[in-house]
């Protein structure tokens, strides 16, 4: 295993450590560093970021950070917060939708609770003309997520109201994609951000990238307004060439990227006339999300260390490597 892979696994491991979470989220310096990837702790801050992105020609997906909720009241509060968020998006006429995690809506506690919350959010979105993305979490939640999605579709929530993420690193995704294409689902294709065993997911990055390209081509050809969610330049270039070669127009799909990641590439996509949506997370529960972003790119750890140097906490010269982008 190379250093990069070891670091990646280490940060994914840290992202799951609830004991560290308390310490890190109370630490003022960590909070400031996390702001690079997180819009803020309040709904207002997130909506303001969405408005700024809209002004730059980018759409937004707002996500209230939180996952694996341990208490039913918290899950209900998250569902209520999402409904209010949809109302505020509508009130401010923002080009924005929302993304939810099922474990945040109580999936670990009770199936009924998560289902009821998700349905309430989707009903509110439908009423307001909004849209809900279902994020995809660790592999044990894939089947429940697909099941809930099918249930929503069976009760009349169409692809104009709800869509879901699919992770290229899972072996099963190839088959899942075929089913979702048959359903006319709106799919956001991602590489996958969790630590998965090789029994369920490709262990090597090169294999994940190859799987991503295969699924992306399939999705671009037959998907419904698919979302190509990656910062991988080579894959992006491939998507553009593939779309051109197959007569797929720029408004037939969209790129999606994370807030604070590859802002240069985000601006380029918009300048070139392609659609871009930025995933904007916010809220006090930012620890696991932040750790997963560090896991994705060791240079981000350099970014973290450099900001420590700026604050005079470690000796000069430590951690002065390449830029975060
Ligand atoms: P990869 O990790 O190969 O990175 C390619 C290049 O992008 C890097 O070389 C670097 O230049 C840049 N880059 C990537 N990540 C960076 C970072 N954190 N900081 C700085 N530069 C970075 N996952 C999941 O499991 N379930 C989900 O529901 C979602 N949802 C989601 C929505 C959206 C809009 C995006 C963009 C991503 C997700 N993800 C996700 C996360 C996804 O699975 C994946 O972990 C990240 O997108 C990173 O992978 P890339 O495709 O960017 O490629």
Domain ranges of the chain: 1-38+286-310, 43-283
Going by pLDDT thresholds of 50, 70 and 90, the confidence category of residue 309 is low
**What is the three-state SS of the chain?**
CCHHHHHHHHHHHHHCCHHHHHHHHHCHHHHHHHCCCCCCCCHHHHHHHHHHHHHCCCEEEEEECCCCCCCHHHHHHHHHHHHHHHHHHHHCCCCEEEEECCCCCCCCCCHHHHHHHHHHHHHHHHHHCCCEEECCCCHHHHHHHHHHHHHHHHCCCCCCCEEEEEECCECCHHHHHHHHHHCCCEEEEECCCCCCCCCCECCCHHHHHHHHHHHHHHHHHHCCCCEEECCCHHHHHHHHHHHHHCCCCHHHCEEEEECCCCHHHHHHHHHCCCCEEEEEEECCCCHHHHHHHHHHCHHHHHHHHHHHHHCCCCCCCCCCCCCCC
Q: So what's the pLDDT on residue 171?
A: 98
Going by pLDDT thresholds of 50, 70 and 90, the confidence category of residue 308 is low
Q: Higher pLDDT residue, 4 or 253?
A: 253
Q: Quick one: CATH architecture of 43-283? A: Alpha-Beta Barrel (3.20)
Q: Is the pLDDT of residue 243 over 90?
A: yes
Q: How much is the average pLDDT of 35-56?
A: 95
Q: How much is the average pLDDT of 201-219?
A: 97
Q: Is the pLDDT of residue 17 over 90?
A: no
Least confident of 171-175, 296-300, 321-325: 321-325
Q: Higher pLDDT residue, 25 or 113?
A: 113
Which residue has the least CA distance to atom 26 on ligand 1?
136
Q: So what's the pLDDT on residue 294?
A: 83
Q: How much is the average pLDDT of 181-209?
A: 96
The string of pLDDT tens digits covering residues 70-95 is: 999 999 999 999 999 999 999 999 99
Which residue has the least CA distance to atom 18 on ligand 1?
293
Least confident of 23-27, 64-68, 144-148, 209-213: 23-27
Catalytic residue of the set 97, 135, 209, 285: 135
Q: Which atom of ligand 1 is nearest to the CA of 229?
A: 36
Q: Is the pLDDT of residue 275 over 50?
A: yes
Q: So what's the pLDDT on residue 12?
A: 80
Going by pLDDT thresholds of 50, 70 and 90, the confidence category of residue 288 is confident
Q: So what's the pLDDT on residue 197?
A: 95
Mean pLDDT of the chain: 90
Mutation to probe ligand 1, out of 141, 190, 233 (largest number of atoms < 8 A from CB): 190
Distance (angstroms) between ligand 1 centre and the Cα of 192 equals 8
Q: Is the pLDDT of residue 170 over 90?
A: yes
Q: So what's the pLDDT on residue 303?
A: 67
Q: Higher pLDDT residue, 295 or 191?
A: 191
Ligand 1 interacting residues, C-beta cut-off 6 A = 135-136, 165, 167, 190-194, 229-232, 256-258, 261-262, 279, 293, 296-297, 300, 324
Least confident of 18-22, 121-125, 199-203, 246-250: 18-22
Least confident of 127-136, 140-149, 285-294: 285-294
């Amino acid at each position: 295993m190379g250093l990069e892979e070891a670091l990646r696994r280490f940060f994914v491991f840290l992202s799951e450590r609830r004991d560290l979470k308390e310490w890190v989220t109370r630490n003022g310096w960590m909070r400031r560093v996390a702001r690079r990837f997180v819009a803020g702790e309040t709904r207002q801050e997130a909506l303001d970021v969405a408005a700024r992105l809209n002004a730059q020609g980018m759409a937004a997906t707002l996500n209230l950070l939180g996952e694996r909720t341990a208490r039913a009241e918290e899950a209900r509060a998250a569902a209520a917060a999402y409904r209010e968020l949809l109302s505020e998006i509508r009130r401010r006429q923002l080009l924005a939708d929302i993304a939810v995690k099922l474990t945040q809506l109580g999936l670990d506690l009770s199936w009924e609770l998560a289902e009821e919350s998700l349905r309430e959010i989707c009903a509110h979105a439908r009423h307001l003309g909004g849209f809900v993305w279902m994020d995809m979490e660790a592999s044990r939640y894939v089947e429940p997520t697909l099941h809930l999605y099918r249930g929503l579709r069976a009760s009349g929530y169409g692809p104009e109201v709800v869509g879901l993420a699919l992770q290229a690193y899972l072996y099963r995704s190839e088959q899942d994609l075929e089913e979702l294409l048959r359903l006319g689902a709106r799919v956001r294709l991602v590489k996958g951000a969790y630590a998965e065993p090789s029994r369920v997911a490709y262990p090597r990055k090169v294999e994940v990238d190859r799987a991503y390209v295969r699924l992306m081509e399939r999705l671009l050809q037959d998907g419904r307004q698919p979302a190509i969610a990656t910062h991988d330049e080579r894959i992006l270039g491939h998507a553009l060439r593939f779309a051109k070669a197959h007569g797929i127009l720029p408004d037939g799909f969209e790129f999606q990227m994370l807030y604070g990641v590859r802002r240069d590439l985000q601006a380029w996509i918009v300048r070139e006339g392609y659609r871009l949506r930025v995933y904007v997370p916010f809220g006090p529960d930012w620890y696991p999300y932040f750790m997963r972003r560090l896991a994705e790119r060791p240079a981000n750890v350099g970014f973290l260390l450099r900001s420590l140097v700026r604050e005079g906490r470690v000796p000069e010269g430590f951690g002065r490597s390449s830029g975060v982008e």
